[in-house]
Structure 1
Amino acid sequence: MKIPTIAIKLNKAGERAVKQGHPWVFEQSIEKAPDKNTVAGSLCVIFDQRTNKPIAFGLWDPKEIIRIKIIFQGSRLQLNTEFWKSQLKEAHSKRQNLIDKGITGYRGIHGENDSFPGLILDVYAKVGVLKIYSDIWKPYIEVLMKEIQSLHGLETLIIRFSRKVGQNNTFPYKEGHIIGEALSDEKVEFEEYGVKFYAYTQSGHKTGFFLDQRPNRLWVQQNAKKKKVLDVFSYVGGFGIHALKGGAESLTSIDISQQAMDVAAENIELNKLDKSKWTPIAADAFVAMNELIENKEEFDIVIIDPPSFAKQASEVNSASNQYERLARLGRDLTKKHGKLILGSCSSRISLGEFEEIHKSASITAGNGWKYMHFTLHDDDHPIGFAEGNYLKTIFYEKRV
């Protein structure tokens, strides 16, 4: 199918945002555009209002408020296989440092931040999970799959869809479709810093594992020896298993999902770690933490890494309150000289705002706390624009 090319002109605000590198063009920013029925994935050439020369290229998404997703900033583009190869190679090069360290579970494509808006690739050893969040990729998916498999050395590629795309799926694949070698089990083993995990590549949340907290998991492994560790919102055990690998005296994990706890148990067994050191609590985190406080429990390392509380602007105030509640609970569960690790994956709450929330929870120098350091994203989760900066983790030490 020949892919249509369409000329686009934006209003001043929209043009300014694109020139500043923003990857989204909203419907209301478009002054000159085609009919809404124009096929998804059509190539949009965005012209400068003043010079009438191209400034960027994007893909048309007729069903979304973000009507154009930018794939290239510049004045010339030949949209062919060589272009996609080049884009994929550039993304792969950003992960080379992790690959060289022997890490076999990494994010190969991080959506807009790698100039592939609405597309995520997570790699687990020789298996890739390609998750599609937009219909714009339908005209290009065959070429991309072939090049992705070749570049990352994948024997198997699994196709997954966001809920919205999956509900009206127009792609020639169903959810969980396998390209390449069949899998005897959807459960795929991968490794990071000497710790092994299973990714449930077809039924697991998102693509089967959360890879973004890798450097902070390593910190826990390196600092857990003979320590009593609490991992809240533990999911399948990422932080906690690194703690056990690092010689933790004990590990208490809290997560509302019993299914996640079952996978955590598998991961502990996979690493041949001492299961008797582990206390799993499948319960609401707020309730479970309050019970631990009532029982006068304290820990040397407390990790609180919840899911996103603010997926839209209207949820920011509520999310801030939730983060403050968690910070207070974590504060009361941390031993003297202990470490408190607080994470947020809500892009709508900035690092500065997250720090202020902790101050509201009395985690301040005046109250005996030392601000140690913060981390953002690892190499495989590059930050390409403001909204792409979602993950922030702050480390504190309790001095008194």
Structure 2
Amino acid sequence: MKIPTLAIKLNKAGERAVKQGHPWIFENSIEKGPKDTAIAGSLCVIFDQRYNKPIAFGLWDPEEIIRIKLILLGNRLQLNGDFWSSQLRKAHSKRQNLIKKGITGYRGIHGENDHFPGLILDVYQQVGVLKIYSNAWKPHLDILSEKIKEVYGLKTIVIRFSRKIQMKNTFPYEEGDFIGESLSNEKIVFEEYGVKYYAYTQSGHKTGFFLDQRPNRHWVQKNAKGKRVLDVFSYVGGFGIHALKGGAESLTSVDISQHAMNVAEENIQLNNFDQSKWNPITADAFIALEELIEKEQQFDIVIIDPPSFAKQGKEVESAAHQYERLARLGRSLTDDKGVLILGSCSSRISLQMFEEIHHDAGITSKDNWKYLHYTLHDDDHPIEFAQSNYLKTIFYQKQVDA
């Protein structure tokens, strides 16, 4: 179909944000433009107020407060297959360092940060899971999926949708449909730093695996030899499998999902690790940690990487309390000279706020704790604007009491 073109002018605040590189245009920033009846995915040409010349291009999303998702900051754009190929090659090039390391599971497109707003591509071997969060991609999906296969060398794309789109799906695909070759089994094996995992590409949470903690999993592998490891919110065993690869003496995994624990067991078997070293606990994390404290359990490496507690601004205060409670529990379970690893995947909790929460939890130099380092995102999760800086992980070491 021919993609409609819309002429857009913004108010001063909206234009300033665009020129500063922000990828979102909110509906209240639009001074001149179409009514909401314009077709989702229409190409929006953003004109400068003063000179009446194009300054950016985006896709129209009539049902969202973020009415326009920007795809290019510039004054020229021919929206065709060559444009998408060029943008995809730029994204793919950012992942070359990981690909050269033999990593076969990585994020190929990280939404706005790769100039594909509302679109996520996770690659597992020659299978890509394309998760769609915006109806703006509907008229572009067929040509884009073909270009994705070409650039990333994929045989299959699995289509996944956000919950919101699933509730009112107008795409010509259903959740879990294939583009390209069909899969006889949704489980795809991928590898990172010598560890293998299964990705459940059709039914798994998000796209089938959480790839963003890769460098921190690698740290655990390199430091786990002979250690007692506790992995909280373990999901399908991400950190724990690396601990076993690194020669951990024991691994205790805590997660509320029995299904996730079953997949973790599959991953342990996939790597031929000794299951006698593994103690799975399927329970609420807060309750499980309190019970471990009551049993006077201690660990050399404690990893606490919960899901986001603050998806909305009004949840930040509650999230801070939960993070502090987890930090206190983790502190009590970490043995002398042990390492406590605390993660947050909420963009509404800044690194500084996260550090202050830990300070309030008694993880300070005065309390015999050493701040080792922090990490943010790996190369396949680039950060191009403030709201996309969601992941932060801090490493602390418990010092021997004087």
Q: TM-score range by the shorter chain?
A: over 0.9
Q: Note the 1:305-344 alignment, pairs <5 A.
A: 305-344=305-344
1:207-234 deviation per Cα after TM superposition (whole angstroms, max 9, x unaligned): 0000000000000000000000000000
Query: What displacement does 1:365 show?
Result: 0.7
Aligned residue number for residue 26 of structure 1: 26
Give the letter for the 2:22 counterpart.
H
Deviates more, 1:246-255 or 1:147-156: 147-156
Query: What displacement does 1:76 show?
Result: 1.2
SS at match of 1:138: helix
TM-score normalised over the length of structure 1: 0.99
Q: Note the 1:132-211 alignment, pairs <5 A.
A: 132-211=132-211
1:86-111 deviation per Cα after TM superposition (whole angstroms, max 9, x unaligned): 00000000001100100000000000
Aligned residues: 400
Find the aligned partners of 2:93 and 2:54 in 1 and give their Cα distance.
Answer: 28
Find the aligned partners of 2:182 and 2:329 in 1 and give their Cα distance.
Answer: 46
1:356 and 2:356 aligned:
yes
Find the aligned partners of 2:332 and 2:20 in 1 and give their Cα distance.
Answer: 44
Give the letter for the 2:325 counterpart.
R
Find the aligned partners of 1:223 and 1:362 in 2 and give their Cα distance.
Answer: 25
Aligned residue number for residue 293 of structure 2: 293
Aligned residue number for residue 263 of structure 2: 263
Query: What displacement does 1:126 show?
Result: 1.1
Query: What displacement does 1:191 show?
Result: 0.3
Aligned residue number for residue 392 of structure 1: 392
Aligned residue number for residue 278 of structure 1: 278
Q: Give the ranges of 4+ consecutive aligned residues of structure 1 lying more than 2 Å apart after TM superposition.
A: none
Find the aligned partners of 1:309 and 1:47 in 2 and give their Cα distance.
Answer: 39
Aligned residue number for residue 111 of structure 1: 111
Find the aligned partners of 2:307 and 2:278 in 1 and give their Cα distance.
Answer: 23
Query: What displacement does 1:43 show?
Result: 0.7
TM-score normalised over the length of structure 2: 0.99
Find the aligned partners of 1:326 and 1:252 in 2 and give their Cα distance.
Answer: 16
Query: What displacement does 1:384 show?
Result: 1.1
Find the aligned partners of 1:159 and 1:71 in 2 and give their Cα distance.
Answer: 21
Which ranges in structure 2 are unaligned for 5 or more consecutive residues?
none
SS at match of 2:89: helix
SS at match of 1:40: coil
Query: What displacement does 1:9 show?
Result: 1.0
Give the letter for the 1:121 counterpart.
L
Aligned residue number for residue 219 of structure 1: 219
Aligned residue number for residue 42 of structure 2: 42
Query: What displacement does 1:169 show?
Result: 1.1
Find the aligned partners of 2:149 and 2:335 in 1 and give their Cα distance.
Answer: 48
1:302 and 2:285 aligned:
no
1:305-344 deviation per Cα after TM superposition (whole angstroms, max 9, x unaligned): 0000000101000001100000000000000000000000
Q: What percentage of residue pairs aligned between the two structures are identical?
A: 75
Find the aligned partners of 2:365 and 2:244 in 1 and give their Cα distance.
Answer: 30
1:119-148 deviation per Cα after TM superposition (whole angstroms, max 9, x unaligned): 010000111111111111111111111111
